[in-house]
């Protein structure tokens, strides 16, 4: 009777709780949940802690082989390890090699614990750690397309080619708003704008996971959104250094992308390595448990970044011992510990539970979340992802074409004075610059290796064209002079300089000088720099060649916008290819000769001065004319190119902007329409962007915010009407009590050259 009463109370409580509950981000499958409970009920503490531990492949691999070492097997068995990450020998490997290695791991784990291992890999812009995979532009290039179809396709192809390796989990999408252009991971993200980050993140998530997060099929993988969050707002611009973002701004600008992808079904999240206002993200319970798990009613799993619990203690000194750091992180909501080489953490966690410093219920919750990911991926049914024969489309022409089309839409035409471009195929081209003949620079980091430094090796580069090879195939006469190159090994900034006067002599015989400059590949802290200005060797190269009097075309190939103020006026045309991947050279050749048209726009503000780094959504006081009277209180924003700048070989005219209501209330939808015409001579795609400005607000409003975008194709002379359904609530902001509010008053909506005023008469 007692038992019955208790059950009734529990059921009653559950029903009440449900009433006011936020709906689950991912609806649960009761049958799956029952299986999870059954497994959990028979697990020992050691087994639970083992599930929560993730080692790097190197810790269990027999060096030089694709096999688990004897020592590795005994670690897996003794510590009941639940997850392994990484490529095997720090470089890309073949599908079959992954399959061989992961099968051995699965066989050991199933034999020891009856629970499959969760293998994770940094497949960042396509299956970037797999030989022969179709590699796309890095996220920054996908963002510059302003075409939401591209991240979906990239995710879909990446998932298929990753699962062909029997890897079911990837550490992407990166949703770090890049708010400091110095930050060496800017290129890994979708840029500086919260809306682009959210929308593209959702598409990449859906492409990778498919549309049913509860049953991920064998052609899809689980995502790990990263790095939660404000990682790209490092004050110093150096990797893994603190941010100082207020909770208000965290909620308004940094959280939405994570929230949107979680609501689209994202199964896991990786935490930001650093700290905000002194609190390491890994020990921030309010954010990990409060905002993510409880706030979104999300039953997914949180994984640390590389050795970051250790960093809480060793680097950040916010705990006095490593063991305390383990307790603080697990209690904050971390579920899986990426502690690549050491199992010490397992011993600590067992002790902490026995000492009641970490509740067993917290460990159980973490293990449930980990098992749930494994079930949702179908690993209990098939831990081998079928056989390699189930993946006939691996590296197919269709996948390659998708990557090539993405590269075409990612390269931004920044300047084209007197229509210098397109070039004629018969033009005699002199090609120079350290980025002209390198696959490494086109790919960037996470490209066959962590730093991307191996990408020019024959085994990786043979099938693809550098800028030089692609131009040479497309144009009649291309001469490449390697008078400035990056050192093949060592620091990514080291350059080898030759004789510029030889290049100047050659330029006098050419019709046009094309100079490919920018950055060599790098990743994470290795890419930290002290000066955002382009290297002096490269600036001088351009200045020297400009003396030839021949038209100069600059190709920027860079992971972040290096300051080029001094040489910009010397070039008639400038293209920023960002990091376009293996087909970036081919795409550039087609664009430069006019066979294809440019359609990309900058996903960030391109700075002109190293001490004037701003984003497009700055405050009004940062850019204002002289005040009348005694003091000159002016301020100015001066960028090289603004956010969303990008040209085409055709021209587009915007007209007739209109709204279906000029007065609106919270909850309304405002239909905004505009006519866009192709007024030039060639066909083209145009990304149409809708901005809003809140004219007065109780928190100083941003000068403008992107609210919607779409991309259209127009033949010459064609006009299309673009309509946006703008939710009134999208015009709200987060106030100091951390509430989303929509205030009454006027807003300006702007699109291209046009704008209209609308008035909020009833806010929220």
What are 127's two structure tokens?
């299956």
Half-sphere exposure of 763 (CA within 13 A, CB side): 18
In whole angstroms, the minimum distance from the beta carbon of 542 to ligand BGC comes to 34
Comparing CB distances to ligand BGC, the nearer of 447 and 614 is 447
How long a stretch of residues is the chain?
A: 764
Contact pattern from residue 82 through residue 101 relative to ligand BGC, giving x for each residue in contact according to CB under 6 A and a dash for the rest: ---x----------------
In whole angstroms, the minimum distance from the beta carbon of 56 to ligand BGC comes to 8
Spatial distance between the Cα atoms of 60 and 69, rounded to a whole number of angstroms = 6
Near ligand BGC by CB under 6 A: residue from 73, 93, 122, 453: 122
Q: Specify whether 305 is catalytic.
A: yes
Comparing CB distances to ligand BGC, the nearer of 446 and 664 is 446
What are 707's two structure tokens?
């609210």
Return the H-helix or E-strand segment holding 155.
Answer: helix 149-163
Contact pattern from residue 144 through residue 173 relative to ligand BGC, giving x for each residue in contact according to CB under 6 A and a dash for the rest: ---------------------------x--
Comparing CB distances to ligand BGC, the nearer of 171 and 724 is 171
Size of the site for ligand BGC (CB under 6 A): 8
Q: Which residues of 291-315 are buried (b: 16+ CB within 10 A; e: fewer)?
A: bbbebbebbbbbbbbbbbbbbbbee
Residue number with the smallest Cβ distance to ligand BGC: 171
In whole angstroms, the minimum distance from the beta carbon of 169 to ligand BGC comes to 11
In whole angstroms, the minimum distance from the beta carbon of 54 to ligand BGC comes to 9
In whole angstroms, the minimum distance from the beta carbon of 514 to ligand BGC comes to 34
Contact positions with ligand BGC (CB under 6 A) in 699-738: none
In whole angstroms, the minimum distance from the beta carbon of 721 to ligand BGC comes to 42
Q: What are phi and psi of 719, to 5 degrees?
A: -125, 140
Spatial distance between the Cα atoms of 359 and 330, rounded to a whole number of angstroms = 10
In whole angstroms, the minimum distance from the beta carbon of 280 to ligand BGC comes to 14
Near ligand BGC by CB under 6 A: residue from 306, 322, 380, 384: 306
Asked whether 136 and 407 are in contact (CB, 8 A), the reply is yes
Is residue 305 a contact residue for ligand BGC (CB under 6 A)? Answer: yes
Comparing CB distances to ligand BGC, the nearer of 226 and 601 is 226
What are 41's two structure tokens?
């009920």
Spatial distance between the Cα atoms of 678 and 717, rounded to a whole number of angstroms = 5
Contact pattern from residue 244 through residue 273 relative to ligand BGC, giving x for each residue in contact according to CB under 6 A and a dash for the rest: -----------------------------x
Coil vs helix vs strand at 164 = coil
Asked whether 675 and 658 are in contact (CB, 8 A), the reply is no
Comparing CB distances to ligand BGC, the nearer of 306 and 618 is 306
Q: Find all residues with CB under 8 Å of 211, minimum gap 6, and list them.
A: 265
Instruction: Specify which residues 238 forms β-bridges with.
Output: none
Contact positions with ligand BGC (CB under 6 A) in 430-469: none
Given 305, 586, 694, 702, the catalytic residue? 305
Spatial distance between the Cα atoms of 589 and 474, rounded to a whole number of angstroms = 6
Contact positions with ligand BGC (CB under 6 A) in 645-664: none
What HEC string does 244-286 produce? CCCHHHHHHHHHHHHHHHHHCCCCEEEECCCEECCEEHHHCHH
Near ligand BGC by CB under 6 A: residue from 249, 393, 524, 730: 524
Comparing CB distances to ligand BGC, the nearer of 85 and 127 is 85
Comparing CB distances to ligand BGC, the nearer of 83 and 538 is 83
Comparing CB distances to ligand BGC, the nearer of 47 and 305 is 305
In whole angstroms, the minimum distance from the beta carbon of 61 to ligand BGC comes to 15
Q: Is 225 exposed, middle or buried (0-12, 13-18, 19+ CB in 10 A)?
A: buried
Spatial distance between the Cα atoms of 173 and 99, rounded to a whole number of angstroms = 24
Asked whether 599 and 686 are in contact (CB, 8 A), the reply is yes
Residues that bind ligand BGC (CB under 6 A): 85, 122, 171, 226, 273, 305-306, 524
Catalytic residues: 305
């Amino acid at each position: 009777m007692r038992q019955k009463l208790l059950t009734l109370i529990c059921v009653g409580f559950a029903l009440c709780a449900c009433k006011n509950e936020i709906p689950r981000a991912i609806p649960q499958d009761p049958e799956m949940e029952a299986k999870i409970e059954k497994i959990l009920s028979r697990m020992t503490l050691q087994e639970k802690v083992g599930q929560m531990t993730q080692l790097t492949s190197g810790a269990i691999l027999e060096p030089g082989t694709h096999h688990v070492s004897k020592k590795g097997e005994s670690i897996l068995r003794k510590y009941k390890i639940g997850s392994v990450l990484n490529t095997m020998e720090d470089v890309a490997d073949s599908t079959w090699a992954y399959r061989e290695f992961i099968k051995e791991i699965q066989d050991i784990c199933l034999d020891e614990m009856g629970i499959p291992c969760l293998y994770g890999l940094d497949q960042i812009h396509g299956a970037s750690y797999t030989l022969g995979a179709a590699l796309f532009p890095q996220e920054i290039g996908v963002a510059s397309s302003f075409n939401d179809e591209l991240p979906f396709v990239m995710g879909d192809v990446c998932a298929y080619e990753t699962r062909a390796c029997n890897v079911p989990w990837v550490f992407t999408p990166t949703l770090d708003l890049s708010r400091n252009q110095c930050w060496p991971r800017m290129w890994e993200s979708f840029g500086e704008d919260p809306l682009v980050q959210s929308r593209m993140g959702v598409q990449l998530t859906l492409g990778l996971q498919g549309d049913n997060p509860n049953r991920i099929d064998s052609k899809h993988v689980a995502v790990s959104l990263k790095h939660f969050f404000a990682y790209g707002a490092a004050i110093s611009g150096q990797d893994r250094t603190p941010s100082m973002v207020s909770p208000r701004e965290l909620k308004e600008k940094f959280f939405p992308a994570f929230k949107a992808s979680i609501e689209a079904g994202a199964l896991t999240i990786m935490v930001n390595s650093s700290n905000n206002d002194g609190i390491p993200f890994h020990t921030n319970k309010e954010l990990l448990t409060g905002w993510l798990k409880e706030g979104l009613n999300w039953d997914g799993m949180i994984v640390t970044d590389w050795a970051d619990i250790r960093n809480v203690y060793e680097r950040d000194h916010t705990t006095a011992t490593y063991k305390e750091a383990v307790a603080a992180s697990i209690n904050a909501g971390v579920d899986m510990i990426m502690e690549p080489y050491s199992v010490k953490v397992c011993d600590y966690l067992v002790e902490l539970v026995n000492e009641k410093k970490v509740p067993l219920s917290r460990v159980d919750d973490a293990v449930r979340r980990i098992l749930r990911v494994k079930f949702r991926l179908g690993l209990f049914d098939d831990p081998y992802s079928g056989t390699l024969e189930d993946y006939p489309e691996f590296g197919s022409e269709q996948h390659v074409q998708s990557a090539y089309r993405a590269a075409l839409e990612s390269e931004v035409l920044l300047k084209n004075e007197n229509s210098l471009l397109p070039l004629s195929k018969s033009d005699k081209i002199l090609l120079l610059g350290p980025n002209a003949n390198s696959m490494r620079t086109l790919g960037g980091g996470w490209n066959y290796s962590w730093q991307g430094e191996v990408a020019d090796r024959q085994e990786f580069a043979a099938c693809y064209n550098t800028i030089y090879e692609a131009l040479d195939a497309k144009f009649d006469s291309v001469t490449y002079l390697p008078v400035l190159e990056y050192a093949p090994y060592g620091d990514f900034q080291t350059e080898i300089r030759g004789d510029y006067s030889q290049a100047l002599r050659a330029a006098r015989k050419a019709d046009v000088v094309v100079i490919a400059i920018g950055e060599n590949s790098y990743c994470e802290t290795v890419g930290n720099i002290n000066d955002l200005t382009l290297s002096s060797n490269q600036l001088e190269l351009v200045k020297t060649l400009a003396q030839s009097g021949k038209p100069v075309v600059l190709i920027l190939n860079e992971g972040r916008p290096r300051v080029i103020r001094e040489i910009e006026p010397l070039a008639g045309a400038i293209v920023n290819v960002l990091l376009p991947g293996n087909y970036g050279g081919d795409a550039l050749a087609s664009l430069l000769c006019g066979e294809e048209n440019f359609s990309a726009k900058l996903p960030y503000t391109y700075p002109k001065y190293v001490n004037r780094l701003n984003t497009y959504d700055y405050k009004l006081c940062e850019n204002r004319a002289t005040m009348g009277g005694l003091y000159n209180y002016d301020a100015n924003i001066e960028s090289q190119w603004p956010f969303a700048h990008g040209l085409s070989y055709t021209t587009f005219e915007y007209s007739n902007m209109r709204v279906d209501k000029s007065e609106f209330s919270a909850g309304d939808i405002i239909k905004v329409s505009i006519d866009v015409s192709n007024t030039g001579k060639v066909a083209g795609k145009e990304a149409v962007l809708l901005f809003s400005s809140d004219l007065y607000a109780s928190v100083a409003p941003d000068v403008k915010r992107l609210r919607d975008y779409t991309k259209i194709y127009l033949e010459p002379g064609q006009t299309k009407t673009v309509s946006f359904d703008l939710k009134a609530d999208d015009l709200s902001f987060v106030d100091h009590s951390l509430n989303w509010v929509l205030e009454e008053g006027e807003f300006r909506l702007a699109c291209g050259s046009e704008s209209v005023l609308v008035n909020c008469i009833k806010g929220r």
